[in-house]
Amino acid sequence: MMKPSRFFKMSAMLAGVLAVGMNAAAARDLTVVSWGGNFQDAQRKIFFEPFSKILGKPVLDESWDGGIGVITAKVKAGAPNWDVVQVESEELALGCADGLYEKIDWDKMGGEDKFLPSAVNECGVGHIVWTTALSYDADKLKTAPTSWADFWDTEKFPGKRGFRRGPKYALEFALMADGVKAEEVYDVLGTPEGVDRAFKKLDELKPNIVWWESGAQPLQLLSSGEVVMTTAYNGRISGINKTEGKNFQVVWPGSIYAVDSWVVLKDAENKDAAMDFIAFTSQPENQVKLPEYIAYGLPNKEAAASVPAELKKDLPTSPENLEGAIPLDVDFWVDNAEALTQRFNAWLAQ
Amino acid sequence: MRIAAGKRLAAFCLVAPLVVFLVLFFVWPLATMMSNAVSSPGAVQALPQTGEVLADWDRTSPPTADMQAALVEDLRAIEDDQTVGDITRQLNSAKSGFRTLMAKTVSAVREDTGPIDLVAIDKRWSQVPFWQAIAAATASPYTDRNLLAAVDLARSPTGEIVSLPDTRSANLAILQRTFVIAAGTTLACMLIGYPYAMVAASCTGWKRQAMLAAVLLPLWTSLLVRTAAWFILLQDSGLINRMLQALGIIDTPLALLFNRTGVIIAMTHVLLPFMVLPIFSVLIAIPSNLMPAAASLGANPLRAFWRVLLPLSLRGVVSGSLLVFMTSIGYYITPALIGGPTDQMISSVIAFYATGTANWGMAGALGIVLLVATIALYVVYDRLSSSEGQRA
């Protein structure tokens, strides 16, 4: 039997070790999660590093590829190891309804009226406006395609087409190619006949489609000439034009834009610093620096107004680019993503 | 007696870390995923009154005011958003539309404390299929819906099992394809790996080291990098096609990317070490004078290989094949980046449910189907190889 004094000493030591261990865990620095690539490089320069100086502590950054399951798993396990995450609009809607995010303190952000209405949510602050659009290499295509009907026209534009794998965007663009007006796409898609019609239109192009998965792939496919046209994210297109001197073009009419938002995970350790960070990125003088690096629209109205004209023409939010473009219908995809993906997989497998 | 017991205890203590490790990292997660596939107690616990009222409903007549009132009461009693999330996810998986319907309904129910007409909030509440989904979810905490859906089956509203048309669900086709690709990769690894291991085993000194290093080197590179490299090599204007064209062997580029060929080439490269190493370790243990002995008895090299070397090294081939086959069944990134639409494997479907929609029930169910199919294949394989062993 151990002597009591020794026993106490030992347990005190053990407790000390445990406490140190837990302190080390508690001392995790603010962790921000975004989408990687040249976009996150720009964010690091404009937002993460300056904010780290203000905070006087390091800001860690990680990247992810989206998916509400990832966030659900982290929050449900308790003590998530991420604080701030940039999410797409469906993840914002799903996670907010499921109680996975902290509520936003909008006074801290400068007030809701400073932002575009679509960037304001009780769980998230809009960070960028981005577009999925028809893109092509203007050095290779002599006649420029102008619509989704051209995208489907394999006689006029022989060659393969790139598409993001999955029903999202593919069904919308198929309906537009079939003659549905952009603003009516989701009305048509809301009916079972509309979904059948979209799949039937996709059937026509199926042998010519190369399906891509990650945002960097369409650029590679266009560069190598593997495809003549592809759907792509507009920011990456203008990015590669700048960094590699390409002449890739974006067709704005018929494009679909969406808002990405910052959220703070429920019970995140650095919740206060996380809110401060979001406020920092939302200040007009900080946000306005982003279009220099990558052509995404800014949700802060004052920031959007002060972007230089030569950069503005590439942004999804500029009025001439918004003409004929539609916003992604978040509600539609939140309801139907699972059933339509199952059907899409079955369609692909045939 | 006591000494024996003490020894047994000591022995148990020695293996205890292993047991704890296995339980914690293998048995427990597996059991959790499996139970997720068949149990979803969320709706039963959170909607008790609705469940009671719906138990008496014939599931075909129009929804009644009692059903509505019970649901309103239940939803009001839930305070935690995450509970609502669990039910909604479960219901939306059974019937698309519950996501927006529940969001709308829950906020309306929380704002107003009086009786509420659900149909006025959203006319979908007058539709029978939505209530059928709630009735099915509240009837029992256990469900076979996920397991059935994983093999392209579903229950009709009246409870019979019906098969889904192949335009709606293709899990079985994708599963079958997964096994075909895995078998193809295993065969390709065997055909390349066996001669390679033979040459490596017959070399000595630095040559053998260099050959083994060449096999092991790819293991030190990330899977993603290797896959991306194959992407660049295999494309129409890639190194392989350009070289073949320069040599005049082909006129138009071979289609190597976005099809089965590309997937099997890339997977074979990635998995080759798992075939070469087991075969090599068996081959070097075979006495080197057996082949000359066979030759001295009049066997030509092919016959000597067939009758002597191959049977003796079969154990290595079997374990190598098992390793490669089992690993390739779970492949996800390589088919996604290099394969075409008809080369996607079952893990990409599982990943969609696990990370894309947080539908862990479906992910678990597909996992169970994959596990059962793999075990069945393994049993067949084990029978075949052991009966062959007895004959030899």
A45-93 confidence digits (pLDDT tens): 999 999 999 999 999 999 998 899 999 999 998 889 999 999 999 999 9
Instruction: Flag whether A41 is in a domain.
Output: yes
Average pLDDT along chain B: 89
Range of the domain at A180: 131-256+328-349
pLDDT at A9: 52
Same domain assignment for residues A95 and A82: yes
Instruction: Flag whether A11 is in a domain.
Output: no
Instruction: Flag whether A57 is in a domain.
Output: yes
Instruction: Flag whether A8 is in a domain.
Output: no
What residues contact A229, with CB distance under 8 A and at least 6 apart?
A134, A135, A136, A141, A145, A150, A151, A157, A159, A161, A162
- How far, in Å, CA of A264 to CA of A124, rounded? 8
Contact (Cβ atoms closer than 8 angstroms) between residue A86 and residue A262: yes
**Which residues in chain A have their CB less than 8 angstroms from residue B28's CB?**
none
Same domain assignment for residues A252 and A265: no
Same domain assignment for residues A238 and A293: no
Contact (Cβ atoms closer than 8 angstroms) between residue A255 and residue A316: yes
Instruction: Flag whether A4 is in a domain.
Output: no
Neighbour count for residue B26 (Cβ, 10 Å) = 10
Tell me which residue of A240, A275, A216 sits closest to A65, measured CA to CA: A216
Contact at CB, B344 and A345, closer than 8 angstroms: yes
What residues contact B26, with CB distance under 8 A and at least 6 apart?
none
* Residue A233 Cα distances to A53, A202, B29, B177, B366, angstroms: 32, 20, 37, 32, 32
Same domain assignment for residues A219 and A333: yes
Average pLDDT along chain A: 90
pLDDT at A23: 46
Neighbour count for residue B286 (Cβ, 10 Å) = 15
Quote the percentage of chain A above a pLDDT of 70.
93
Q: What average pLDDT does range A321-350 have in this prediction?
A: 92
Closest Cβ opposite residue A99 in set B85, B96, B169: B85
Instruction: Flag whether A5 is in a domain.
Output: no
Judged against a pLDDT cut of 70, whether residue B332 lies above it is answered with yes
Neighbour count for residue B271 (Cβ, 10 Å) = 25
- Give me the amino acid identity at A91: E
Neighbour count for residue B326 (Cβ, 10 Å) = 15
Among the residue ranges A16-25, A170-179, A340-349, B235-244, the one predicted with the least confidence is A16-25
* Residue B18 Cα distances to B6, B31, B238, angstroms: 19, 18, 48
Q: What average pLDDT does range A289-304 have in this prediction?
A: 92
Same domain assignment for residues A123 and A153: no
Going by the DSSP 8-state scheme, the letter that residue A290 receives in this structure is: G
Same domain assignment for residues A222 and A277: no
Cα dihedral: B26, B30, B32, B34 (round 10)? -170
- How far, in Å, CA of B231 to CA of B226, rounded? 9
Judged against a pLDDT cut of 60, whether residue A6 lies above it is answered with no
Q: Supply angle C-alpha A291, A297, A299, rounded to 5.
A: 120
Half-sphere exposure of A27 (CA within 13 A, CB side): 8
Q: What average pLDDT does range B58-78 have in this prediction?
A: 90
Closest Cβ opposite residue B357 in set A93, A338, A346: A338
Q: Which of B177, B234, B357 has the most A C-beta neighbours within 10 Å, making it the best mutation to test the interface with A? A: B357
Beta bridge partners, A124, equal A263
Same domain assignment for residues A192 and A333: yes
Contact at CB, B170 and A349, closer than 8 angstroms: yes
- Please give the model's pTM, rounded to 2 decimal places: 0.86
Same domain assignment for residues A81 and A169: no
For residue A218, the domain's CATH number is 3.40.190.10
Q: What average pLDDT does range B147-161 have in this prediction?
A: 87
Contact at CB, B174 and A345, closer than 8 angstroms: yes
Closest Cβ opposite residue B96 in set A211, A339, A346: A339
Same domain assignment for residues A116 and A237: no
Same domain assignment for residues A30 and A98: yes
Q: Nearest-CA distance from A335 to chain B in Å?
A: 5
Does the beta carbon of A191 lie under 8 angstroms from any beta carbon of chain B? Answer: no
Same domain assignment for residues A342 and A227: yes
Q: Is A59 helix (H, G, I), strand (E, B) or coil?
A: coil
Maximum pairwise Cα distance, chain A: 91
Could you give the number of structural domains in chain A?
A: 2
With cut-offs at 50, 70 and 90, classify the pLDDT of residue B4. Answer: confident
Judged against a pLDDT cut of 50, whether residue A4 lies above it is answered with no
Instruction: Flag whether A13 is in a domain.
Output: no
- State ipTM: 0.84
Tell me which residue of B187, B223, B171 sits closest to A345, measured CA to CA: B171
Instruction: Flag whether A251 is in a domain.
Output: yes
Same domain assignment for residues A213 and A335: yes
- How far, in Å, CA of B276 to CA of B189, rounded? 8
Joined together, the tokens standing for residue B19 give 């047991």
